[in-house]
Amino acid sequence: MTVSSESKNSLTKVAPLEAVLFDIDGTLCDSDPLHYYAFREMLKEIGFNGGVPITEEFFIETVAGKHNDDIAKALFPDDLQRGLKFVDDKEAMFRKLAKEQLKPLNGLDKVREWIESRGLKRAAVTNAPRANAELMISLLGLSDFFQAVIIGGECEHAKPHPDPYLKGLEALKASKDHSFVFEDSVSGIKAGVAAGMPVVGLATRNPEDLLMEAKPAFLIKDYADTKLWEALEELDKAGTKKV
């Protein structure tokens, strides 16, 4: 399958490329199944939804890509403090699972090498708590790769607001006109687009039709997808043209 000219142009407009910004959960690694498992088991344990396990559809709609404060409000609308304690406990369970099971998304090493060989700036921008973010980055061997790690909860607004991505650009001293984003969730794609950058969407777990509604430049299955490499090749060519 070839990438459309529209998709190519949506990246070539940032030439010459200066920076690449990544989400973490579902973007660097397929971590959603671990989050889903932790939420499902812990909610079942406390009798949420009458003890009926939550579905993947419920997880995608209520949890995936969202900030923990918003998840706590959605799950425990009448007792926010209980909700905040619950999501903290759930994150501890996730970190335990991640240490045992976390794996990089297919092709991540290849795109890492592409970025490093061109001397591009790079940041991780996530709604995950800092403890989760730093653990995942470490487990994936990317601690020396990222020059900045931006946490949504440490910004004025988390994703889907553009603040975390704008803060990422500021930390890198990079221009939105010469940067693009990798994201896997609706809220993350919306945040990147609102920050003025093209977003390459990863259809890791979330439904493609929902992701497309957030207006990514195009979707890829993972970093080995030929659509991505055709687009990056076009971007390389555009960046070497003399003005």
pLDDT of amino acid 242: 37
Of residues 82, 64, 59, the one with CA closest to residue 72: 82
Give the model confidence (pLDDT) of 176-207 as tens digits: 999 999 999 999 999 999 999 999 999 988 89
Both structure tokens of 24: 């973490």
What is the structure's pLDDT at 240?
62
Q: What pLDDT sits at residue 33?
A: 92
Site of tokens 């039709």: 209
The 10s digit of each residue's pLDDT in 45-61 is 999 989 999 999 999 88
| Chunked mean pLDDT (size 10), the chain, 243 residues | 46 96 96 93 92 91 85 93 94 94 96 97 96 96 98 95 98 98 96 98 92 96 96 90 39
Q: What is the SS3 assignment for 138?
A: helix
Residue 125: Cβ within 10 Å count:
33
pLDDT value, residue 41 = 95
Rounded to an integer, what distance in angstroms lies between the CA atom of residue 91 and that of residue 137?
A: 15
Going from N- to C-terminal start, the domains of the chain cover 5-30+103-240, 32-101
Which residues are designated catalytic? Answer: 23, 25
pLDDT of residue 8: 45
Q: From CA 205, how far away is CA 33, in angstroms rounded?
A: 9
CB atoms closer than 10 angstroms to residue 33: 15
5-30+103-240 belongs to CATH 3.40.50.1000: yes
Q: Which of 143, 176, 145, 163 is nearest to 17 (CA)?
A: 176
